[in-house]
Structure 1
Amino acid sequence: MTQSEFIRLVNGKPWANRACSFDAMDCWGLVVLYYRHVLGLELHHVAGYESGADFITCYEQEADHWRTVPVAAAGCIAVFYRGDSPSHIGIMTSPVKCLHSRGEFGFVRSDSPVALLKIYSRVEYMVHASI
């Protein structure tokens, strides 16, 4: 599946806590689906994710599989922080657009990371270690 096909398929889909399907997804579920269907990579499974473990716990278990990059590029993840804690994640579809699924009653949409920094304190860009 191309990135454009993926964006068309998920854009506007509802956010659902711990969901990872094309019917509904949370922010991590969106990343898993993107890596699986666009990049052909199966991400490390985080034990407890579907059972409601909080985002920070899941992120800490998964962080070893990623490396920080200095600037955004298509296909990298954007990790958004509140203070020192990661609290949201999305996929950079270009150096200036982030596809993400945010919060209760939210949905998948594309925003500038600069716009998201009105909500979050900072952003970090990362790529999977296998890339």
Structure 2
Amino acid sequence: MTPQDCISRLLGVRYEPAGNSFSAVDCFGVVELWYRHVLGVGVEDRSNHPPTHEGLQRGVESISNWEAVDTPQDHCLVLMQAGRLRNGHIGIYYNGHVLHADRKAGCCVCQKITDPAIQGSITGYLKHNENPTH
């Protein structure tokens, strides 16, 4: 699946905690679907982490096969602040945009990385070691 096809399929998909399908998705579900369908790469199993901001933060802190980068590249994870949690939300960087499941909007959205609504919440970027475009 091309990145644009994946974006088209995910835009507007309803938000659901622990969702990881093209009919219901949460922020980590976006990552799972992107890596599986666009890059053909599996990501860490999240079954040990509850589908909450706290669970995501614990998951981000324990992941392997990822490295921090200062400047995002296509397919990088975008780590974002969620409430009091530094890395409580996550999205995918592609072509100057962040694709993520927005709980407040109730669906998956794609915003410019320079959009003030998300720019101030970005805490870092991670590149997968198996990312074929790095």
* TM-score (norm: length of structure 1): 0.85
Alpha-carbon distance between aligned partners in 2 of 1:101 and 1:124, rounded to the nearest angstrom: 17
Instruction: Return the letter of the residue paired with 1:117.
Output: Q
Secondary structure of the structure 1 residue equivalent to 2:39: coil
**Residue aligning to 1:76:** 76
Equivalent-residue separation in structure 1 for 2:47 and 2:85 (angstroms): 23
Going from structure 1 to structure 2, the CA distance change for 1:37 and 1:56 (only over 3 Å counts) comes to same
Identity %: 25
Structure 1 window deviating more from structure 2 (22-31 vs 69-78): it is: 69-78
1:57 deviates by 1.8
Whether the 8 Å contact between 1:88 and 1:102 is mirrored in structure 2 is no
More strand by share: 2
Q: 1:19 to 1:86 in 2, by over 3 A?
A: same
Change (3 A) 1:52 1:74: closer
3-state DSSP of counterpart to 1:38: helix
Q: Which residue of 2 aligns with 1:117?
A: 119
Following TM superposition, by how much is the alpha carbon of 1:113 offset from its aligned partner in structure 2, in angstroms? 2.6
Q: Does 1:11 align with 2:11?
A: yes
Q: Which amino acid aligns with 1:55?
A: L
Contiguous gaps of at least 5 residues in structure 1: none
The equivalences for 1:1-131 within 5 A come to 1-49=1-49, 51-52=50-51, 54-62=55-63, 64-81=64-81, 85-94=86-95, 96-104=96-104, 106-115=106-115, 116-118=118-120, 120=121, 122-131=122-131
Equivalenced residues, count? 126
**For the Cα contact (< 8 Å) 2:27–2:91, is it kept in 1?**
yes
- Cα distance in 1 for partners of 2:73, 2:8 equals 20
- Which amino acid is 2:57 matched to? I
Instruction: Say if 1:79 and 1:86, in contact at 8 Å, map to a contact too.
Output: yes
Which aligned runs of 4 or more in structure 1 are off by greater than 6 angstroms? none
The one-letter code matched in structure 2 to 1:60 is E
Deviations 1:58-114 (A, max 9, x none): 22222x3210112122111111135662011111111x2111101155211111233
Structure 2 SS opposite 1:114: coil
Shift of 1:10: 0.8
